Chains A and B, each alone.
Chain A
Amino acid sequence: GAGVSQTPSNKVTEKGKYVELRCDPISGHTALYWYRQSLGQGPEFLIYFQGTGAADDSGLPNDRFFAVRPEGSVSTLKIQRTERGDSAVYLCASSLSSRANTGELFFGEGSRLTVL
Chain B
Amino acid sequence: AQKITQTQPGMFVQEKEAVTLDCTYDTSDQSYGLFWYKQPSSGEMIFLIYQGSYDEQNATEGRYSLNFQKARKSANLVISASQLGDSAMYFCAMREGRQGKLIFGQGTELSVKP
Residue A25 interfacial (CB < 8 Å)? no
Of the candidates A40, A48, A50, A91, the one whose C-beta lies within 8 Å of that of B45 is A91
Residue A102 interfacial (CB < 8 Å)? yes
A42 touches B95 (CB 8 A): no
Q: Which residues of A contact B43 (CB under 8 A)?
A: 89, 109-110
Q: Which residues of A contact B37 (CB under 8 A)?
A: 107
Mark each residue of chain B from 35 to 66: 1 if its CB lies under 8 Å from any CB of chain A, else 0: 10100000111010010100000000000000
Q: How many A residues touch B, CB cutoff 8 Å?
A: 27
> Which 6 A-B residue pairings sit nearest by Cβ, starting from the closest?
A42-B104, A107-B45, A102-B50, A104-B47, A45-B101, A43-B104
Size class of the B contact interface (CB-based, 8 Å): 20 to 34
Within 58-106 of B, Cβ neighbours of A (below 8 Å) are at 91, 93, 95, 98-106
**Minimum C-beta distance from B74 to chain A (A):** 17
Of the candidates A42, A56, A102, the one whose C-beta lies within 8 Å of that of B91 is A42
Cα(A89)–Cα(B35), bound, Å: 21
**Minimum C-beta distance from B102 to chain A (A):** 6
Cα(A106)–Cα(B50), bound, Å: 13
A105 touches B100 (CB 8 A): no
B50 touches A56 (CB 8 A): no
Cα(A102)–Cα(B94), bound, Å: 12
